[in-house]
Chain A
Amino acid sequence: MIYRETGNFVTNYFKDREIFPLKFDKIIVILGLLILYLYVPTTSEYTLSAHVIPILAVGLATVGLNILTGLTGQLSLGTAGFMCVGAFSTYNLMLRMPEALMSLPVALLFSGIFAGLVGIIFGLPAIRIKGFYLLVSTLAAQYFVWWFFNSYAWFLNYESSGVVAIPPKMYDYWGLGNLLGVDMQGYPARYVLALTVCLALTYFAKNLLRSNTGRNFMSVRDRDIAASVMGISVPRTKLLAFFVSCFYCGVAGGIYSFLYIGNVDLMIYEIDRSFTILFMLIIGGLGSISGSWLGAIFVYEFPIVFTWIGDTIFKGAFNTAVVENVSNMVYGIFIIALLIREPGGFAALWATTKQKLRMWPYPH
């Protein structure tokens, strides 16, 4: 087989810490990056706008939730609320800061920090409250944030319709588009920005997982009392997890509003979205970064594919409500079946497949 795990000898500590220690993996990653950066932007505008960019946005939020729920063990249903904070603060930063200081990437960074701070505020109860009781805190965040942006029209620049379209000048990037001769508002440019942010943050998350901080997160998840006995400050770790997680969600919210739909709309950050992202996390596998992305792709594409099947195979013999209901039923059954067969989600499924391939053709 081409895929060889043997014959890789680590000769120094730097090599020992590599994310992709195998030569074959490195080739795959480089090829993947080339495809992502060179081929995908040239695909149709529809593919980018309806499939790729939204998946990038929700996938990033899933990675964020993974840091909180998968790594630190704090169940959260406030993901959409924190995304909402990100989207609104990106918009307001772009709107109110001098143009020379603000550009979309900078605004995304700061809105992530804002969302993280909001996350810390709603994470404070986690110091006292544990388990399912903590749901009340994140749900309070979800509903409060939603209500807050709904009630104070200042944040939407007094737009009476409740939806504000993002003006084209916000995609200016300090005149970079004119300089390169690229339409920065077009989907390929949006995609490249979203992809870069997502890759950078995924890389960061992957490294966080392997760092001292990440191990602290996991020890708090596994047994917080044991962690505190070992000298890990549990409150500090939990709040840090809330900050990092909500930072991711905030950036994801900014990407969702700015690079995907192109307007700031409160309606897309309702509680349903929090559940969708939790589904992505569970289906992908708790605690696995690559699993989060797989889960995001699956959950996002599932209803689309299902509707497509309903439309093309049955030629619209059933109306959309029926298709939607059947889609919900199949989806529910699928989740239960997956939890029963493989509670570790796609990540565990992938690990098993890899193990089987390694042994192939001899099962033992």
Chain B
Amino acid sequence: MDWVYLIEVLVGGLMSGVMYSLVAIGFVLIYKSSGIFNFAQGTMLLFASLTFVKMTENGIDFWTSLFIAAGIMVIFGIATERYVIRPLANQDLLALFMATVGLATFQEGFSQFVWDSDVHGLQMSKFLDIGLLDPAPIFMSDHIPWLDILIPKFDIFASLVAGSLIVVLAFFFQKTKTGLSLRAVSDDHMAAMAVGIPLQTVWAVVWAVTGVIALVAGLLWAERVSVSFTLIEAVMKALPVILIGGLTSIPGAIVGGLVIGVGEKLGEIYLADVFGGQGIELWFAYFMALIFLIFRPQGMFGEKLIERV
């Protein structure tokens, strides 16, 4: 057994897990606050990053494009709440899920109609002069003598961004008044309304925040895989993550992401031969989630459902 190789694999898995978590957080925010399974998360990623990339390609500088793209996502989130979620309030959860699938279809057409359907590369190192965006990997042995592994610098950058995003979210949820009302709404809609929390405003805030998260996640994903139609598939990658973590838990989304990331990498190395074929990563994450859920149907940190007749 080659331990260094194993550690390298584990680190790689953790890093790709971070990418899954970023998408999963957006999911969890919306599910927690309104019980909606937001399938449009993937197209939000596409729309946000496409908006950003097209603006930078037209010569607008990095920060301005970032702010404009974030602004567009906020407007989009508020509009979604106003025109899709609000009229559908109190509907069957399946209808709401289908509405988000409809939203995804719309957004898929819309973003490619407004911008274009080409594949765009994104290199943030062109705009930001941070050492971490340098494409060359870090040799850990330069810093820690006995650890002879390679880590792509961008992965560290992505993890830092994800980490700070989580800190910001935690602060927002725990310390601000809006965060308090968000938590109240996610606990119990009716009770929250009864004490005078404006449900619709809260939902609008959630969708807007999710839009901004989609922008951040979209940019990081785009740097890795490029901005194109395939970004939509990020949503399929994030599904097992949130299901393992539990649909209602942000820590769950992160831990779930890491578990899936590591598990996928390990599975690729140790199980691919057993199944005699390539591409087991296509379904491996789902099987992991499935086996996990059979033992814990609410996911890792999901709320235990107590059912009464």
Contacts and interface: CB of A to CB of B under 8 A. Distances in A.
Most chain B beta-carbon neighbours within 10 Å: one of A129, A223, A336, A343: A336
A66 to B, nearest CB: 13
B258 interface: no
A336 B102 contact: yes
B277 A151 contact: yes
B195 interface: no
A250 B124 CA distance: 48
Interface stretch (A46-54, A204-212, A319-327): A319-327
A87 B289 CA distance: 28
B113 interface: yes
B91 A333 contact: no
A321 B115 CA distance: 12
B113 A278 contact: no
Contact of A128 (B97, B294, B307, B308): B294
Contacts of A178: none
B109 interface: yes
Interface stretch (A16-24, A139-147, A253-261, A356-364): A139-147
Contacts of A75: 94, 97
Given A129-B293, A140-B290, A279-B101, A147 B283 contact: yes
B110 A136 contact: no
Contacts of A333: 102, 106
A136 B293 contact: yes
Nearest to A334: B102
A225 B276 CA distance: 43
A339 interface: yes
A313 interface: no
Contact of B243 (A133, A226, A271, A330): A133
Given A136-B239, A151-B279, A225-B309, A335 B105 contact: yes
B107 A332 contact: yes
Contacts of B309: 223, 225-226, 229
Contacts of B92: 343
A328 B101 contact: no
B108 interface: yes
Given A225-B307, A278-B98, A329-B113, A128 B88 contact: no
B283 A128 contact: no
A150 B277 CA distance: 9
Contact of B95 (A151, A329, A339): A339
B50 to A, nearest CB: 12
Given A130-B297, A136-B293, A151-B279, A335 B99 contact: yes
Interface in A99-142: 125, 128-133, 135-137, 139-140
A275 interface: yes
A286 B299 contact: no
Nearest to A286: B94
Interface of B: 37, 83-84, 87-88, 91-95, 97-99, 101-110, 112-113, 117, 236, 239-240, 243, 247, 275-280, 282-283, 286-287, 289-290, 293-294, 297-299, 305, 307-309
Closest 3 CB pairs of A and B: A332-B106, A328-B109, A335-B102
Interface of A: 69, 75, 125, 128-133, 135-137, 139-140, 143-144, 146-147, 150-152, 223, 225-226, 229, 271, 275, 278-279, 282, 286, 321-322, 324-336, 339-340, 343
22 contacts: A69-B94, A125-B293, A129-B294, A129-B297, A132-B93, A136-B240, A140-B286, A143-B286, A147-B279, A147-B282, A151-B277, A152-B277, A282-B94, A329-B109, A329-B113, A331-B109, A332-B108, A335-B98, A335-B99, A335-B101, A339-B99, A343-B95
